[in-house]
Amino acid sequence: MIEQTQRRQRERIRLWLALSTLAFLLALVIVPPYVSVSRYRNRIMQALSASLGRPVRLSSAELRLLPRPSFVLTDLVVEEDAAYGAEPVLHANTVTAAIRLASLWRGRLQINRISVDEASLNLVRSISGRWNLDSFFRTATRAGSTSGNGGATPFPYLEATNSRINIKIGVEKLPFSLVNADVSFWHESADEWRVRLRGQPARTDVSLDLGDTGLVRLEASLRRAAELRQMPIHLDMDWKAAQLGQLSRLVIGSDEGWRGDLTGEVHLDGTADSAQVQTRLRASGVHRAEFAPASPMDFDASCGFVYHYSTRGLENVLCDSPIGDGRARLTGNVRGLNGPPELSLELDRVPVQIALDALRTVRRGLDPSLQAGGIMSGRISYAAVAAAGTPAPKRITKTSGRLPKSRPPIPGPLTGSVTAVNLRLNGDSLAKPIQVPKVMIEPAPGEPPALAATFAIPAGAPTPLTLTCRLSLTNYQLSVHGSAALPRLRELAKSAGLPNTGLLDGVEGQPATIDLSADGPWLPAPAPPAPIAQTEAGSQQEDATAVPVLVPGATDRLSGTIMLHAVAWKPGFLANPVEITTATLHLEGAGSRWDPVAFSYGPVAGSASLTLPRGCEPPAKCLPQFSLRFGLLDAGTLQAAVLGAHQPGTLLSGLLARIRPETTPAWPEIEGTIQADGLILGPVTFDNAVAGVRIRDTHTEIEGFDATVMGGKIHATGSMTPGEKPGYKLEGRFEKIRAAELGQLLGITATGDGIDGTGQVELSGFTDQDLAASAKGSLHFDWRHGAITDAGDAEAPPALARFDRWTADAEIANGGVTLTENQIQRGGRKSAVEASAAFGDPPRVSFGAAENVRAAKR
């Protein structure tokens, strides 16, 4: 009986517990939607504000009981301290604020945990050097120190996932940020806080492959102090799996063509005012994108120092790295605000190949096959000298009253030297290696502080090339003077990656005289960041119309001259070499220019200039510009020179046939002018002839031909199309041609005013017979107050014995010119004649009977 009673009691208890649990669960599901928390909105904002130490705004709040009692907040904005700007320090669309249950029993509302997702957080550094987190940590310190007495608001656990961390200097937002960031901050104990961060570096004004920018991870613990810089800190941070190509885009805004993997580590113990820092930087497979060297440049450098935030200084710097079979070691102090740094770099048997690899990595264009031999050893120290460069004041001694002897100049901040021995450079572009027994690298005078070296390079000429280089921390300067054999000069230019090295191809002869200089930065300047628009809620939006541009003046500058004497130039598109007496190549920032060039091509002599611009903005096309100038030029002589032998045919057919030959390389696309003081074409001389020519891929354009001939002027344009028989199109006009000189050319005697006219013709072929037979076109002339008194073998019509005006149209066909419609006017009488001229040497002119034309009605 007793057992049955106990059994019934246990069953009632179980049933009661089950019903209570069911009721509670139903309440969790049914009650929250009917519970309005809008009246608690201000209390929630006050609780969050007290926890974070910042004013807080939110749009709405909802109650959630599972999995734990919490508020779901919408559009949360945490205001910034006015000292750091007006933009909110944090914005999140959705925030979960977990309630501290114990506080409800005391009739208070406290937040235990704040979780945000896809938030935007701003880290701001003021102009004075303080961070906006400084006041935040002071609030956390007060909360942590008083949380045990129940009178203060305990500091909540903060976490953010899939968020973005932006960096600002004053009111300016930098383009650098951390994306996909997970951040946690919590109160570990009464005096200790912990921070954990994980994110991917990004830049807002360029497109990046975030998978290749690496992953930044940070673990830190902080202990209580009055200010952020006085907090004891233990920090471990690493940056892994960063690709150098994307890293260069991240840091300087453009891909500089570096490839390889980079890993960095930082370990810090102490306070911001005195922190012991250990760093390690490792790189593997470092090379340029355009080549893969046999032994990529790898390094593993470790550094240790004490950092002082108040002075921005580094104390007891010690960096050490094995390099090949040698070692590099950096020691000293960086005083920051307390003064200039004092550093010393020591190299012990460091391979010269490392310097070449480093140069080839940061500079484009160097021959990828270059290999260097030799080692470098020495020590260079930097220590600023008081009043460096200011001479000591002169004073008069009491004993003699004379000025003392002048003191030696005060040395600069750099001292010491580095010596490279047994230097040897070889590569595919060098027929034989460059060998220099010893190069001394020493401090150079002037500002900024720099190192300099001068050494000689044999280059196949009686005297070697002298190379002087000046290397500062950010820039380089290089000058080359002396003589070099042309084959060796081409090799050196290609190995160094100089532009337009093809200008010296095909040139053979005496050594060239060189006077060149180059300078520029080691790295291009960062592109300016694109403007970032800020929304009212604090989120950022990149200005899509902003395009990063390169900073002007951030590229290399090459200038100077290369002078040639007594050389021959044989390009593939000319039948014979061009003999060049003198020529000067000017290398300038805008491009390259040959000017002046004194040349002869067979019996033809003249002067020339050629300009090759550096480049144009697309879609514009920068063509080389040339200019040829001759004195008195005989067409027959020029034809013989161009063709290589005197062959039958006209000058026009010979020249244009050589421009686009079928069996030799085509001419490059080029444009320019050809000038001659006099162009002799058979019995006709064109004075002050100027032609504008543009050679294209498919045809050649004569953009303008102007000259004086027979006392008048002629202007023509045309084109030539290559083929089995080149085709030509010409059209133009002539003005004030002297009748007497034209009559003399045609074998007749004529007088009168100048003759004007226009014409056009199409013809094809190589020889004068081909051209004459294929010529088709039209001609119009206007001749005033003229007369033909003697027509030679032909008999001139009486109407041409004297006339006031003769206008005519003519057809060019069938190997000659035949008049069609024409009108001869003398007083009120008008008539027409029949006339034709057959092409030949000389031309044959014939006339027909005159025909009266009725006068026009007035």
Q: How far apart are the C-alpha atoms of 89 and 87, rounded to whole Å?
A: 6
The first and second tokens of residue 701, run together, are 């354009």
Q: How far apart are the C-alpha atoms of 176 and 166, rounded to whole Å?
A: 7
- Three-class SS state of 32: helix
Q: How far apart are the C-alpha atoms of 490 and 367, rounded to whole Å?
A: 13
Q: How far apart are the C-alpha atoms of 438 and 89, rounded to whole Å?
A: 60
CA nearest to 726, candidates 665, 782, 659: 659
Question: What residue spans of 147-283 are helical by DSSP H?
Answer: 244-252
Establish how many alpha carbons lie within 13 A of residue 798's alpha carbon, considering only the half-sphere containing its beta carbon.
3
What is the Cα Rg of the chain in Å? 44
Q: How far apart are the C-alpha atoms of 269 and 247, rounded to whole Å?
A: 28
> Helix/strand/coil (H, E, C) string of 90-106?
EEEEEEEEEECHHHHHC
CA dist 50 → 46, 78, 124, 153, 189 (Å): 6, 12, 21, 7, 19
Render the burial of 747-757: b for 16+ CB within 10 Å, e for the rest: bbbbebebbbb
148 DSSP assignment = G
Q: How far apart are the C-alpha atoms of 614 and 620, rounded to whole Å?
A: 13
Q: At what angle do helices 635-643 and 651-659 cross, to 10 degrees?
A: 30
Q: At what angle do helices 41-52 and 133-146 cross, to 10 degrees?
A: 100
Q: What is the pLDDT of residue 537?
A: 38
Question: What residue spans of 94-176 are helical by DSSP H?
Answer: 101-105, 133-146
337 DSSP assignment = G
- Secondary element (H or E) of residue 285: strand 274-288
CA nearest to 280, candidates 326, 309, 237, 218: 237
CA dist 346 → 378, 454, 470 (Å): 6, 21, 19
Q: How far apart are the C-alpha atoms of 69 and 46, rounded to whole Å?
A: 18
For the entire predicted model, the pTM comes to 0.67
Per residue in 357-401, pLDDT (tens digit) is: 778 777 777 787 888 899 999 999 998 764 444 444 444 343 344
Query: Is 452 within 8 Å of 443 (Cβ atoms)?
Result: yes
Q: In this structure, are strands 157-169 and 120-125 parallel, antiparallel, or unpaired?
A: parallel
Contacts of 349 (CB under 8 A, 6+ apart): 325, 326, 327, 375, 376, 377
Cis before residue 619, ω within 30 degrees of 0? Answer: yes
Query: Is 341 within 8 Å of 334 (Cβ atoms)?
Result: yes
Q: How far apart are the C-alpha atoms of 775 and 764, rounded to whole Å?
A: 7
Triad 538, 544, 548: Cα angle to 5°: 110
Query: Is 62 within 8 Å of 37 (Cβ atoms)?
Result: yes
Count of other CB atoms within 10 angstroms of residue 310: 13
CA nearest to 251, candidates 281, 215, 284, 213: 213
The first and second tokens of residue 121, run together, are 């957080």
CA nearest to 528, candidates 202, 179, 125, 204: 204
CA nearest to 213, candidates 201, 197, 198: 201
Q: How far apart are the C-alpha atoms of 324 and 297, rounded to whole Å?
A: 9
Per residue in 665-698, pLDDT (tens digit) is: 566 788 999 999 998 876 788 999 999 999 887 7
Q: Which amino acid is at 450?
A: A
Q: How far apart are the C-alpha atoms of 162 and 198, rounded to whole Å?
A: 10
Triad 90, 91, 93: Cα angle to 5°: 150
- Secondary element (H or E) of residue 424: strand 414-426
The first and second tokens of residue 354, run together, are 């490392």
Q: Which residues pair with 704 in a beta bridge?
A: 692
Taken in order 377, 383, 384, 386, the sign of the CA dihedral is negative
In which residue ranges of the chain is pLDDT below 50? 31, 34-35, 104-105, 107, 147-151, 386-407, 409-410, 527-554, 643-662, 664, 854-858
Q: Where are the beta strands (DSSP E) in 12-153?
A: 56-57, 60-64, 70-78, 90-99, 111-117, 120-125
Q: How far apart are the C-alpha atoms of 830 and 807, rounded to whole Å?
A: 11
Q: Which residue has the tokens 């572009």?
A: 429
Q: How far apart are the C-alpha atoms of 843 and 836, rounded to whole Å?
A: 10
Count of other CB atoms within 10 angstroms of residue 265: 15
CA 318 to chain centre: 37
Q: How far apart are the C-alpha atoms of 134 and 145, rounded to whole Å?
A: 17
Taken in order 742, 744, 748, 752, the sign of the CA dihedral is positive
Q: How far apart are the C-alpha atoms of 523 and 534, rounded to whole Å?
A: 32
Q: What is the pLDDT of residue 482?
A: 94
Q: What is the pLDDT of residue 641?
A: 63
Establish how many alpha carbons lie within 13 A of residue 767's alpha carbon, considering only the half-sphere containing its beta carbon.
7
The first and second tokens of residue 62, run together, are 């909802």
Establish how many alpha carbons lie within 13 A of residue 79's alpha carbon, considering only the half-sphere containing its beta carbon.
13
3-state helix, strand, coil in the chain (%, to 5): 20, 50, 30
Establish how many alpha carbons lie within 13 A of residue 560's alpha carbon, considering only the half-sphere containing its beta carbon.
17
